[in-house]
Structure 1
């Protein structure tokens, strides 16, 4: 989806000011929005890619004028309406102990796959120029660019297929994942700092041999 969430390389937004010692949450409601998102996801109502797509589907005005965790909260609000959870009698109660176990465990999206990787470390590749209507992890600024494979990361669930509309069955079929390195000049043009490189994680369907 070519939405306002994909701002890499865009101009006119002003400087990004880093906050020294920035805390994870600035207000109590942000902590709660984070917990609600993870708790409902742990109940199997959505996966990580579906929730990312919900955030990306907010209106441009809402997205650009909202803080980070307000975007999370608005996406959850949108999702529970789509799933009609607000009209149900309620979700089954879960105790704090149950959810603590879910939060402390780490889930992996790496999966076995029956084929070998097409590309290898050190190989030159070109990212495809795509304009999907749904969720993708390939940013616009890195499409149609030539880079070098730094590493093969194994086979992982492909986000573009996993982010189906809420209520539909996701497709967890994996694809090989690579870290690809680009020069700043390749991404931003001749005026870019020649000492800078940018690395992205790119699934195999995003790539072709250069």
Structure 2
């Protein structure tokens, strides 16, 4: 099944047009506000980055196709706030009366933003799983590119790379598995690899067939050849 957000290599979406080097960081003032509100709400501890990514993927196909980048962010954020009980639909429309005092202590203050962004959100973790593959080894990605834990769930294996032949470039160590973490099933860390694919292994008629594409893929996405 084609996922509306999985656009890599898909025909019909038009060319990718890079922005000018002198383009402003935010094209509109409200874009900056959406980023700020998203960061502030993330500090409440009600979800993780994988849950937030899946929320954007769960927007209706019609909305996902017509929304701009930051419209997707704010629409998914609204869904998360209601789903986790932080706000009600009435609150979002200005007619609610939710008591948010218990969350006030978790509010991200302006003077803390730089430190929070600088510290990032490391996802490397110890894992009980030993690395299965070594540098240079041939591997094939699973087909279909789907979450094996939750039907229709989040996964970081793109559709254009499903069933493709690649080679292990390096091991990144063990990292949180998004397929599990996005659905409240635990972090389930496992080995993460940089895998290199020839363009011709991904697309039937690549514009530059000698190009290589490197994807970071979890061990459970791969099988030996």
Q: Structure 1-normalised TM-score?
A: 0.91
Alignment of 1:46-57 (within 5 A): 46-57=47-58
8 A contact 2:190–2:218 mirrored in 1: yes
Counterpart residue number, 1:75: 76
Once structures 1 and 2 are overlaid, which stretch shifts more, 67-76 or 11-20? 11-20
Once structures 1 and 2 are overlaid, which stretch shifts more, 77-86 or 183-192? 183-192
Q: 1:14 to 1:105 in 2, by over 3 A?
A: same
8 A contact 1:42–1:102 mirrored in 2: no
The one of 121, 130, 133 equivalent to 2:135 is 121
- Are positions 1:14 and 2:14 aligned together? yes
Question: Displacement, 1:24?
Answer: 2.8
Aligned residues: CA RMSD: 1.7
- Are positions 1:92 and 2:107 aligned together? no
Measure the CA separation in 2 of the matches of 1:190 and 1:7. 17
Counterpart residue number, 1:102: 116
- Are positions 1:180 and 2:195 aligned together? yes
Q: What secondary structure is seen at the aligned counterpart in 2 of 1:148?
A: strand
Counterpart residue number, 1:27: 28
Question: Displacement, 1:100?
Answer: 4.3
Question: Displacement, 1:98?
Answer: 3.9
Runs of 4+ in 1 over 3 A off after TM superposition: 98-101
Question: Displacement, 1:96?
Answer: 2.2
Measure the CA separation in 2 of the matches of 1:192 and 1:99. 42
Question: Displacement, 1:187?
Answer: 0.7
Question: Displacement, 1:129?
Answer: 0.7
Report the number of matched residues.
206
8 A contact 1:40–1:46 mirrored in 2: no
Cα deviation digits, residues 16-66 of structure 1 (max 9, x gap): 211212333111211111111122112211100000000000011111111
Alignment of 1:130-149 (within 5 A): 130=144, 131-132=146-147, 133-149=152-168
Question: Displacement, 1:190?
Answer: 5.1
Structure 1: give runs of 5+ residues left out of the alignment: none
Q: Structure 2-normalised TM-score?
A: 0.85
